[in-house]
């Protein structure tokens, strides 16, 4: 998984999601979800503790999805399987709710699979080399990525400095959103300055935004990519056909 | 007669947003192998001129150029974008915003890719430039983890890998402490001698360069050349020692103060006190805990142990704009509501903020921003002022202004704790020095005790201030 | 399209995306907790924070593509910094960006008043909703619930992204740091505001 070309992986994963989105039976996302976990178990070096930590909010989200779909689900026919607090749940609704919840789980797992097995820098370089992303944008993104820790630090520093002056932290989200301006303005003003300096430094070293003729770290598409794409396709077909048949 | 690298005839330049010309009627040429420095007051267009030489301007700002400029005997406009940049390389002032890749090797490769270098040549060229600059052991290091001085060396290596004929330097020392800056100049001098590069630099800290330059062009405030002469080495700007304004009363007293964050001890228990009107300089190597001390004193960091008894403490970060909450200088000073209108008017007058009363606090000069921050702190009745690196990146005029400000306020009873590496400044302003190393306080000393103690200075990476109780030494 | 772009403008979009990425992360934690209680509704109000990048960038840079490219870059950066939503975020970024871009294109990049900015926020909201309807399966939900979600998202787009975007853009202009960008020149009357 780690050796797969990031662009190919990106396309395969996005395409799988779009296909799965067509199915509303609970089995298709379930089979797909289990399949992805199996893939990750066998073909990646994942830190599972961290993985569980990341999965937690998604599981909560999936649960939220489950019950809202039951309560606010579209009117459907079919036998009522159980009632609760005056809400009748039909077989059809239950199936759909499960389907959406599993879908959230499947998509989240798939996303984590990508996040855990892809090096960010290789991903951008591959987008530029395989998918012809213009270098101006690719390196623009790289600069942003380099600045992330610096700016996070700046964010805390501004917050601390302003707290010292008695700009109290607000309790409600909407108040926080309004008071964000105070932090945002110095951050953005700093970003404008940094952007110009970085851009000048790059141009002073001959960067013009023209496509490049050779790369120091070429990122290739090789047999692994075909193999992995094949495995994904088989998994996708199995879950679509199997799911429809079971549903 | 060596070849002309640059040749300017009656060159003028204007930003589209402005009425006045930034540069007016410049005529001079630079010969191959020359070491030229451009000097002049802040805002006189030195950097703008440098950006015209490497063709970042006029395209990047849609500026308007008059007159003629030839690069290597060919009109500047005949070069396509990017063509000239591998012959004229540039190192900029901010070590933090010159890189776009994670590691040193990748950053060098980025430069080679820009030049359309064939794949087979990349690896040998990277190895060669790392050897030449003595950075071989940093090849796979993450750039953001390096110190400012090392980052500037990496930026220079990135410039040299292009095999340039000219190296432009845009205040490359301004974000480095004097100790590191001196090392950088020494390193650059060795490189220059080995390769006969033409060097054109913009610089205001001339003393650190020793006799590096051969020629100096001075620009005046109106963007005209006021002098074109042989370079003479400068002595650092020295400040007159101000008389101490310390009063007997204690303003701040810290006992057993220590800071541990996430099980990492950042500051070992320390104790000291500061009197009203006293000016204390906090100094020590990078990462020794100076900022941690300041932040724990003013309550940004939680104290792990100890107590601080003090008059109310104010804090001015290195970027004063981090403090600003409102949209005009006047509102900014009045924000806390702790002072009466008369007190506010008095402060505004004594800190010379009246003429910018209505201005946006972000839109004023750096020195003015700092005065606004100090006014806001004093208006909030915080007479103990902590300042984090206020001297970094400042020219002589700005330092003098800062000096006067501290002198003035301390006479009125304000106490200062100032983090700085600039020992000339410290020699003028300080009553005492608090030295820190590796998170431990070495001690709080009377200023004159430190200046004649070689061992203490070296241990804390400090350069002895010139002209204080010791003969001026020659440049190493 | 990119030929007329300066590198500093591209880098600016990227750094703005980082800033708002940090802000967004702050709020996403809050919403994650709500999500268990009120389901997907928890995220609806925040969509505006997402759209704001494209609106601010267009308001400042004023070149075709500014809304679309900035939103796409913002999503890409979000993926790089380890947002667990992962690759599909890039696709949503593309679609949201297109929504705002469409509105600006309709005005031929001549007008950047509050109304247009709010419409652009709504454009993002509508495009993203149609996409979400499909991918997240809103079809399975009760139409009135879907309508509620849609309304919240449109309001968030218009208010947080549209009004908020103009507010922040103007505040930033007042600091004097935007010299050399189209917005600063427009104020001087060279370009229609």
Higher pLDDT among residues C37 and B129, named by residue: B129
Residues of chain B with C-beta less than 8 angstroms from the C-beta of C184: 17
pLDDT at C191: 43
- Looking at the structure, do residues A171 and A143 belong to the same domain, yes or no? yes
Q: Looking up tokens 């593509």, which residue turns up?
A: C65
DSSP C161: I
Q: Check CB contact under 8 Å for A144 and C41.
A: no
The rounded mean pLDDT for chain C is 86
Q: Give the CA angle between residues A91, A92, A93 to the nearest 5°.
A: 95
Q: Is A166 left (phi over 0), alpha (psi -120 to 50) or beta?
A: left
End-to-end CA distance of chain C: 22
C163: nearest Cα among C22, C30, C48, C77: C48
Q: Check CB contact under 8 Å for C32 and A61.
A: yes
Backbone angles phi, psi at B283, to 5 degrees: -135, 160
- Asked if residue B47 has pLDDT above 50, the reply is yes
What angle do helix axes C66-80 and C47-61 make, rounded to 10 degrees? 130
Residue B40 to chain A, least CA–CA distance (Å): 22
Q: Check CB contact under 8 Å for A74 and C140.
A: yes
For residue range C132-160, what is the model confidence (pLDDT) as tens digits? 888 877 777 788 888 988 999 999 999 99
Residue B441 to chain A, least CA–CA distance (Å): 24
Mutate to test the interface with B, among C4, C10, C179 (most CBs of B within 10 A): C179
Residue C5 to chain A, least CA–CA distance (Å): 9
Map B181-203 to HEC letters: HHHHHHHHHHHHHHHCCEEEEEC
For residue range A72-98, what is the model confidence (pLDDT) as tens digits? 776 666 667 767 666 677 777 788 888
Helices (H) and strands (E) in chain C, counts: 9, 0
Backbone angles phi, psi at B259, to 5 degrees: -135, 125
Mean local confidence (pLDDT), C165-178: 93
C163: nearest Cα among C118, C113, C99: C118
pLDDT at A76: 65
For residue range A108-121, what is the model confidence (pLDDT) as tens digits? 888 888 888 888 89
Q: What order of strands is seen across the sheet that includes strand B74-75?
A: B23-31, B4-14, B64-71, B74-75
Answer whether residue A215 is part of any domain.
no
**Which of the residue ranges A76-80, B68-72, B388-392 has the most confident prediction, judged by mean pLDDT?**
B68-72
For chains B and C, what is the number of CB pairs under 8 angstroms? Answer: 25
Q: Out of A42-56, A223-237, B235-249, C165-179, pick the least confident.
A: A42-56
Answer whether residue A68 is part of any domain.
yes
Higher pLDDT among residues A176 and B161, named by residue: B161
DSSP B443: E
- Asked if residue A246 has pLDDT above 90, the reply is no
Relative to beta strand B264-275, strand B415-419 is unpaired
Higher pLDDT among residues B144 and A73, named by residue: B144
- Looking at the structure, do residues A95 and A178 belong to the same domain, yes or no? no
Answer whether residue A210 is part of any domain.
no
Q: Give the CA angle between residues B220, B223, B226 to the nearest 5°.
A: 40
Residue A119 to chain B, least CA–CA distance (Å): 12
**B 50-69 → C contacts, CB under 8 A:** 59-62
pLDDT at C188: 62
Higher pLDDT among residues B144 and A87, named by residue: B144
Question: What is the tally of structural domains in chain A?
Answer: 2
Answer whether residue C68 is part of any domain.
yes
Residues of chain A with C-beta less than 8 angstroms from the C-beta of C85: 108, 111
Nearest to B362 among C175, C180, C188 (CB): C175
Higher pLDDT among residues C168 and A173, named by residue: C168
The residue of chain C with its CA nearest to that of A153 is: C22
- Looking at the structure, do residues A76 and A24 belong to the same domain, yes or no? yes
Relative to beta strand B279-283, strand B250-261 is unpaired
Domain range holding C54?
7-187
Query: What whole-number distance in Å separates Cα of residue C46 and Cα of residue A172?
Result: 14
Q: Considering just the CA atoms, what is the radius of gyration of chain A in Å?
A: 24
- Asked if residue B79 has pLDDT above 60, the reply is yes
For residue range C81-106, what is the model confidence (pLDDT) as tens digits? 766 667 778 888 999 999 999 999 99
- Looking at the structure, do residues A31 and A79 belong to the same domain, yes or no? yes
**B258 — pLDDT class (breaks 50, 70, 90):** very high
Higher pLDDT among residues B175 and C52, named by residue: C52
**B200 — pLDDT class (breaks 50, 70, 90):** very high
pLDDT at B123: 95
B272: nearest Cα among B243, B294, B242: B294
- Tell me the three state secondary structure of residue B303: coil
Domain range holding A150?
135-204
The rounded mean pLDDT for chain B is 90
**A 192-231 → B contacts, CB under 8 A:** 194, 197-208, 210, 212-218
Neighbours of B164 (CB within 10 A): 20
pLDDT at B415: 95
Answer whether residue A145 is part of any domain.
yes
**B476 — pLDDT class (breaks 50, 70, 90):** very low
Higher pLDDT among residues B149 and A247, named by residue: B149
pLDDT at B475: 39
pLDDT at C36: 61
B171: nearest Cα among B195, B149, B202, B208: B202
Mutate to test the interface with A, among C73, C86, C176, C184 (most CBs of A within 10 A): C86
- Looking at the structure, do residues A188 and A233 belong to the same domain, yes or no? no
Query: What whole-number distance in Å separates Cα of residue C59 and Cα of residue C168?
Result: 10
- Asked if residue B272 has pLDDT above 50, the reply is yes
Answer whether residue A139 is part of any domain.
yes
Mean local confidence (pLDDT), B92-103: 93
Answer whether residue C19 is part of any domain.
yes
Mean local confidence (pLDDT), A180-201: 93
Beta bridge partners of residue B28, listed in sequence order = B8
The rounded mean pLDDT for chain A is 86
Answer whether residue C1 is part of any domain.
no
- Looking at the structure, do residues A16 and A38 belong to the same domain, yes or no? yes
Neighbours of B264 (CB within 10 A): 8
Question: What is the tally of structural domains in chain C?
Answer: 1
Answer whether residue C51 is part of any domain.
yes
Within an 8 Å CB–CB cutoff, is residue A181 touching chain B? no
Answer whether residue A95 is part of any domain.
yes
Query: What whole-number distance in Å separates Cα of residue B466 and Cα of residue B475?
Result: 11
Q: In the numeric block, which tokens belong to residue B62?
A: 């849609």
- Asked if residue A65 has pLDDT above 80, the reply is no
**B118 — pLDDT class (breaks 50, 70, 90):** very high
Q: In the numeric block, which tokens belong to residue B57?
A: 């301007």
- Looking at the structure, do residues A104 and A199 belong to the same domain, yes or no? no
- Asked if residue C37 has pLDDT above 70, the reply is no
- Looking at the structure, do residues A224 and A118 belong to the same domain, yes or no? yes
Of chain A, the percentage scoring pLDDT greater than 70 comes to 91
Q: Check CB contact under 8 Å for A200 and B96.
A: no
Q: Check CB contact under 8 Å for B362 and C177.
A: yes
pLDDT at C190: 45
**C 125-144 → A contacts, CB under 8 A:** 134-137, 139-144
Answer whether residue A212 is part of any domain.
no
Residue A10 to chain B, least CA–CA distance (Å): 22
Query: In the complex, which subunits touch C with 3 or more CB pairs below 8 angstroms?
Result: A, B
A37: nearest Cα among A26, A54, A24, A51: A51
Higher pLDDT among residues B156 and B44, named by residue: B156
Mean local confidence (pLDDT), C1-20: 90
Residues of chain A with C-beta less than 8 angstroms from the C-beta of B155: 201
pLDDT at B474: 38
Q: Residue C36: which CATH number?
A: 1.10.1760
- Asked if residue B407 has pLDDT above 80, the reply is yes
The residue of chain B with its CA nearest to that of C180 is: B61
| CB hemisphere CA count around B329 (13 angstroms) | 26
For residue range B328-361, what is the model confidence (pLDDT) as tens digits? 999 999 998 888 999 999 889 888 898 899 999 9
pLDDT at B467: 66
Answer whether residue C192 is part of any domain.
no
Relative to beta strand B432-437, strand B279-283 is parallel
- Asked if residue A236 has pLDDT above 60, the reply is yes
Beta bridge partners of residue B142, listed in sequence order = B103
Q: Check CB contact under 8 Å for C135 and A137.
A: no
- Looking at the structure, do residues A57 and A29 belong to the same domain, yes or no? yes
**C25 — pLDDT class (breaks 50, 70, 90):** confident
**pTM of the model as a whole:** 0.91
Q: B140-160 burial, b if ≥16 CB within 10 A, otherwise e? A: ebebeebebbbbbbbbbbbbb
Answer whether residue A1 is part of any domain.
no
Answer whether residue C64 is part of any domain.
yes
Residue B417 to chain C, least CA–CA distance (Å): 29
- Looking at the structure, do residues A114 and A153 belong to the same domain, yes or no? no
Q: B421-456 burial, b if ≥16 CB within 10 A, otherwise e? A: bbbbbbbbbbbbbbbbeebbbbebbebeebbeeeeb
Q: Check CB contact under 8 Å for A206 and B82.
A: yes
The residue of chain A with its CA nearest to that of B291 is: A157
- Looking at the structure, do residues A121 and A235 belong to the same domain, yes or no? yes
Q: What is the DSSP secondary-structure string of chain A?
A: -TTS-HHHHHHHHHHHHHHHTT--SSHHHHHHHHHHHHHHHHH----HHHHHHHHHHHHHHHHHHHHHHHHHBPP--S-EEEEETTEEEEHHHHHHHHHHHHHHHHHHHHHHHHHHH--HHHHHHHHHHTS---HHHHHHHHHHHHHHHHHHHHHHHHHHHHHHTT-PPPSSHHHHHHHHHHHHHHHHHHHHHHHHHHHHHHHTTT--SPPPS--SS-----HHHHHHHHHHHHHHHHHHHHHHHH-
- Looking at the structure, do residues A52 and A118 belong to the same domain, yes or no? yes
**C32 — pLDDT class (breaks 50, 70, 90):** low
């Amino acid at each position: 998984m780690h050796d797969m070309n990031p662009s190919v992986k990106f396309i395969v994963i996005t395409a799988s999601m779009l296909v799965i989105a067509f199915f509303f039976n609970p089995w298709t996302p379930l089979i797909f979800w289990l399949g992805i976990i199996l893939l990750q178990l066998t073909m990646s070096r994942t830190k599972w503790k961290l993985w569980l930590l990341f999965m937690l909010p998604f599981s909560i989200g999936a649960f939220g999805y489950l019950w809202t779909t039951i309560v606010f689900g579209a009117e459907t026919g079919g036998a009522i399987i159980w009632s609760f607090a005056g809400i009748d749940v039909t077989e059809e609704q239950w199936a759909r709710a499960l389907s959406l919840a599993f879908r959230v789980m499947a998509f989240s797992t798939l996303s984590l699979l990508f996040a855990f097995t892809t090096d960010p820098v290789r991903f951008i370089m591959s987008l530029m080399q395989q998918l012809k992303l213009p270098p101006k944008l690719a390196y623009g993104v790289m600069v942003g990525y380099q600045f992330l820790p610096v700016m996070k630090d700046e964010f805390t520093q501004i917050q601390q400095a302003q707290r010292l002056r008695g700009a109290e932290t607000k309790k409600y989200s909407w108040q926080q959103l309004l008071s964000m301006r105070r932090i945002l303005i110095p951050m953005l003003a700093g970003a404008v300055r940094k952007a110009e300096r970085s851009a000048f430094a790059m141009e002073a070293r001959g960067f013009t935004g023209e496509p490049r003729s050779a790369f120091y770290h070429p990122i290739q598409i090789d047999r692994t990519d075909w193999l992995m794409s094949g495995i994904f396709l088989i998994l996708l077909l199995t879950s679509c056909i199997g799911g429809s048949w079971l549903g | 007669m060596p070849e002309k690298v640059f040749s300017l005839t009656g060159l003028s330049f204007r930003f589209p947003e402005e009425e006045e010309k930034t540069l007016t009627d410049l005529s001079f040429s630079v010969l191959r192998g020359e070491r030229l420095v451009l000097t002049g007051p802040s805002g006189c267009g030195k950097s703008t001129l440098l950006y015209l030489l490497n063709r970042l301007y006029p395209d990047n700002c849609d500026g308007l150029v008059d007159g003629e400029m030839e690069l290597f005997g060919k009109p500047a406009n005949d070069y396509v974008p990017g063509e000239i940049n591998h012959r004229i390389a540039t190192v900029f002032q901010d070590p933090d915003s010159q890189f776009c890749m994670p590691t040193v090797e990748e950053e060098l490769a980025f430069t080679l890719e820009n030049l359309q270098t064939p794949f087979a040549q990349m690896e040998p060229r990277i190895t060669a430039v790392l050897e030449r600059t003595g950075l071989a052991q940093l090849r796979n290091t993450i750039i953001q983890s390096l110190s400012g001085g090392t980052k500037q060396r990496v930026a220079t290596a990135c410039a040299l890998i292009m095999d340039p004929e000219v190296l432009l330097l845009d205040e490359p020392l301004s974000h480095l402490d004097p100790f590191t800056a001196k090392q950088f100049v020494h390193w650059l001098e060795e490189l220059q001698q080995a390769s006969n590069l033409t060097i054109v630099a913009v610089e205001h800290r001339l003393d650190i360069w020793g006799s590096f330059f051969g020629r100096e062009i001075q620009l005046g405030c109106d963007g005209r050349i006021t002098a074109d002469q042989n370079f003479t080495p400068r002595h650092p700007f020295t400040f007159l020692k101000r008389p101490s304004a310390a009063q007997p009363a204690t303003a701040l007293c810290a006992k057993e103060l220590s800071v541990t964050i996430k099980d990492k001890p950042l500051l070992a228990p320390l104790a000291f006190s500061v009197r009203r009107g006293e000016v204390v300089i906090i100094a020590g190597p990078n990462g020794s805990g100076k900022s941690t001390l300041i932040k724990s004193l003013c309550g940004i960091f939680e104290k792990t142990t100890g107590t601080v008894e003090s008059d109310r403490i104010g804090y001015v970060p290195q970027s004063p704009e981090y403090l600003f909450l409102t949209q005009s200088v006047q509102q900014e000073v009045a924000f806390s509501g702790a002072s009466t209108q008369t007190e506010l008017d008095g402060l505004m007058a004594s800190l010379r903020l009246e003429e910018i009363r209505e201005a946006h606090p972000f839109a004023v000069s750096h020195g003015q921003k700092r005065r606004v921050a100090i006014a806001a702190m004093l208006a909030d009745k915080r007479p103990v002022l902590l300042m984090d690196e206020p001297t970094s990146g400042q020219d002589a005029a700005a330092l003098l202004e800062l000096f006067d400000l501290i002198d003035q306020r301390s006479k009125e009873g304000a106490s200062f704790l100032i983090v700085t590496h600039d020992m000339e400044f410290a020699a003028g302003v300080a009553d005492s020095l608090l030295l820190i190393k590796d998170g431990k306080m070495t001690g709080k000393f009377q200023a004159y005790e430190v200046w004649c103690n070689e061992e203490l200075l070296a241990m804390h990476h400090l350069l002895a201030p010139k002209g204080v109780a010791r003969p001026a030494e020659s440049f190493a | 399209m990119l030929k007329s772009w300066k590198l500093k403008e591209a880098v600016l979009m990227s750094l703005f995306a980082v800033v708002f990425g940090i802000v967004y992360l702050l709020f996403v934690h809050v919403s994650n907790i709500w999500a268990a209680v009120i389901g997907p509704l928890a995220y609806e109000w925040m969509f505006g924070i997402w759209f704001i990048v494209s609106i601010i960038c267009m308001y400042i840079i004023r070149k075709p593509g500014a809304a679309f490219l900035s939103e796409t870059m913002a999503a890409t950066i979000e993926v790089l910094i380890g947002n667990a939503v992962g690759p599909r975020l890039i696709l949503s970024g593309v679609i949201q960006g297109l929504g705002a871009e469409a509105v600006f294109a309709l005005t031929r990049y001549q007008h950047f008043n509050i109304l247009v900015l709010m419409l652009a926020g709504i454009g993002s909201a509508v495009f993203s909703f149609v996409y979400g309807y499909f991918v997240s399966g809103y079809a399975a939900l009760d139409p009135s619930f879907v309508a509620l979600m849609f309304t919240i998202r449109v309001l968030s787009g218009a208010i947080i992204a549209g009004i908020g975007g103009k507010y922040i853009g103007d505040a930033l202009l007042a600091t004097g740091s935007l010299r050399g960008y189209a917005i600063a020149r427009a104020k001087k009357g060279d370009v229609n505001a």
